[in-house]
Amino acid sequence: MTILKSILTITLASAFCQIVNFTEAHAQSVDSTSDLTYRPIYHFTPPQNWTNDPNGLVYYGDKYHIFYQYNPEGDTWGHMSWGHATSTDMMKWEHEPIALQDYQNGDGTSTMFFSGTAVVDKNNTSGLSKTDGEIPLVAIYTAHIDSAGTGISQSQSMAYSLDGKQFTRYDHNPLINLKTTDFRDPKVFWREESQQWIMIVALPLDFRLQFYSSPDLKSWTLLSEFGDKLGDKSKIWECPDIFELPVENEAGVSKWVITLSGGHPQQNGNLGMQYVIGNFDGKTFTADPLPYPLYLDNGKDFYAGIIFNNLPESDTRKIMIGWENSWEYAATTPSKGFRGQMAAPRELTLYKDEKGEYRIKSFPIREVNNYRGNLLAKQSSVAVTGSKLLNSVSGNALDIEFIIKRSSAEQAGIKLLKHGNYETLVYYNKIDNTLKIDRTKSGNVSFSAKFPSIESVPLPDDGGDIAIRILVDNNSVEVFANSGKQVLTDLVFPVSEKVTYELFSTEVATTFKDLNVWEMKPSMQ
């Protein structure tokens, strides 16, 4: 407890402090939910215990690998280790043995494995493989060393595997040590032009990101720093990533994008992900002048996302997985047998908007569609005044799409996971031209004062149709509007599995077009 306390107060203070405050609130759950586990069926969850960030997303040895912040000893944060699972489609995951487990050092300190990256060292630049044809999978992580008396240190270290399962710690760790308490979450990629590894890593409390380069993953040189002057600083900055994306509606143009975790459009203590668009010349990142901060997702439960490294050459997608939760209440969510999950994998794309400004879209990867089962509802056009029950639709794992034709109705949308007066609303709100998710009456909201909430994302003011896709999975609602230009991700904890769905339009009629609702098949055992 002393160790945990010092971590909470010193190192990750602003991110973690709410954990303690809400432990008490956890006691007051809604009775009727006592038999619900809230385990989603097509979103990644650990077999048991706690998870937060995804780590080391990589394709290696004909498989996708997810590593993830994992507590082998319980369902709250602690003993941070890297859990591991593999997949052939980023949806159906097989659990593997823990890849990197926290340990005690001889001097009374302990080391935890904080977030990081995994790279495939195809040319064996590290020399870690001694056998021809054996390619090292290298995990570069933050070693979080905790000593009860002398405090905390965070430095960048590595471990490697030659079979994609068993990892050995490099014997000359740390790789980069600034002798500081908050220095974490390295993301590394291979830069072909300069034949170098590039690392982006965060100094969370300073709102600064650093770039380093290395020929061999072992010796690292500081290249430059970024940050400080732009973006949302309402929360510390963690888990940066950097990658290049072609602009989909501007032939021949591509831009570099930095994503990072920290800050939220509501800025009142919430957490989310921001991005910056610009250029990276191999040494320095220069941001384009855009109206920052820009956010990836306006919901409350999308954090610590990173993209996959080393996808097969024929796959040029940038695919992100994020932790579907918030430090504001993560420790007290009422799931049973596990705590924490990943949002559905999303493809990030870049486009130029109607004002000529670059923006990111994020949309579920096409592999999600393979888990569509029975088509429960299909309607090319339906006019709704008041509420209309979708009587062929039930169940709590669905993929829903429809188009809202904007009318003079003040609000038009869908009621999800409805049981009695409990419901989660997703709707267009004419008055402020936003798309909203309202989970204030979604079910069990009492475990944290921060949980019942309404999130909004601004819509284009052209009055055009709004194309909605919603992934519902038990405790998870992910809303993608207009191919992922507007995104809202929120956890919910309904009171019953017996639920219904209704379209609604207040006072006057709204037409919903191209409604399709699929039942989703399980991808996780």
Residues in CB range of 478: below 8 A, 6 or more apart: 299, 343, 344, 364, 470, 471, 487, 488, 489
Number of helical (H) and strand (E) elements in the chain, helices listed first: 3, 34
Q: What is the dihedral of CA 175, 179, 182, 186, to 10 degrees?
A: -10
Specify the residue, 52 or 310, whose C-beta has the smaller distance to ligand FRU: 52
Specify the residue, 157 or 396, whose C-beta has the smaller distance to ligand FRU: 157
**Strand ranges for 316-420 from DSSP E:** 318-323, 338-339, 346-352, 358-364, 372-389, 397-405, 411-419
- Which position among 232, 238, 301, 367 is part of the footprint of ligand FRU (CB under 6 A)? 238
**Edge-to-edge strands, sheet with 221-227:** 184-191, 196-203, 208-214, 221-227
Told to check if 12 binds ligand FRU by CB under 6 A, we report: yes
**Shortest CB 140 distance to ligand FRU, Å:** 12
Told to check if 145 binds ligand FRU by CB under 6 A, we report: no
**Shortest CB 91 distance to ligand FRU, Å:** 23
419 vs 303: CA distance, rounded Å: 29
Residue indicated by tokens 């949309």? 363
Distances (CA, A) of 452 to 30, 39, 104, 509: 14, 20, 40, 29
**Strand ranges for 281-332 from DSSP E:** 285-287, 294-295, 303-307, 318-323
- Distance between the two ends of the chain, CA-based, in angstroms? 34
- The dihedral sign for the CA sequence 374, 422, 39, 468: positive
Specify the residue, 125 or 153, whose C-beta has the smaller distance to ligand FRU: 153
Biggest CA pair distance of the chain: 72
- Which position among 18, 142, 298, 476 is part of the footprint of ligand FRU (CB under 6 A)? 142
**Shortest CB 153 distance to ligand FRU, Å:** 14
Number of residues that bind ligand FRU (CB under 6 A): 14
Told to check if 304 binds ligand FRU by CB under 6 A, we report: yes
Specify the residue, 182 or 399, whose C-beta has the smaller distance to ligand FRU: 182
Six token digits for residue 32: 């009727």
**Shortest CB 365 distance to ligand FRU, Å:** 23
Told to check if 80 binds ligand FRU by CB under 6 A, we report: yes
500 CA to centre of own chain: 28
- Which position among 38, 64, 114, 285 is part of the footprint of ligand FRU (CB under 6 A)? 114
57-68: burial string, b at 16+ Cβ within 10 Å, e else: bbbbeeebbbbb
Six token digits for residue 448: 């944290």
Residue nearest to ligand FRU (CB): 114
Residue indicated by tokens 């965060």? 202
Told to check if 53 binds ligand FRU by CB under 6 A, we report: yes
Enzyme catalytic residues: 53
Told to check if 52 binds ligand FRU by CB under 6 A, we report: yes
Q: What is the dihedral of CA 127, 132, 134, 139, to 10 degrees?
A: 0
- Which position among 45, 111, 115, 476 is part of the footprint of ligand FRU (CB under 6 A)? 115
**Shortest CB 184 distance to ligand FRU, Å:** 5
Q: What is the DSSP letter of 345?
A: P
Residues in CB range of 180: below 8 A, 6 or more apart: 153, 154, 203
**Shortest CB 155 distance to ligand FRU, Å:** 12
51 vs 74: CA distance, rounded Å: 10
By CB under 6 A, the residues from 182 to 201 that bind ligand FRU are 184-185
- DSSP secondary structure of 26-46: GG---GGGTT-----SSS---
Told to check if 49 binds ligand FRU by CB under 6 A, we report: no
Six token digits for residue 334: 């009422």
Residue 174: is the preceding peptide bond cis (ω within 30°)?
Answer: yes
Q: Which residues bind ligand FRU (CB under 6 A)?
A: 12, 15, 52-53, 69, 80, 114-115, 142, 184-185, 238-239, 304
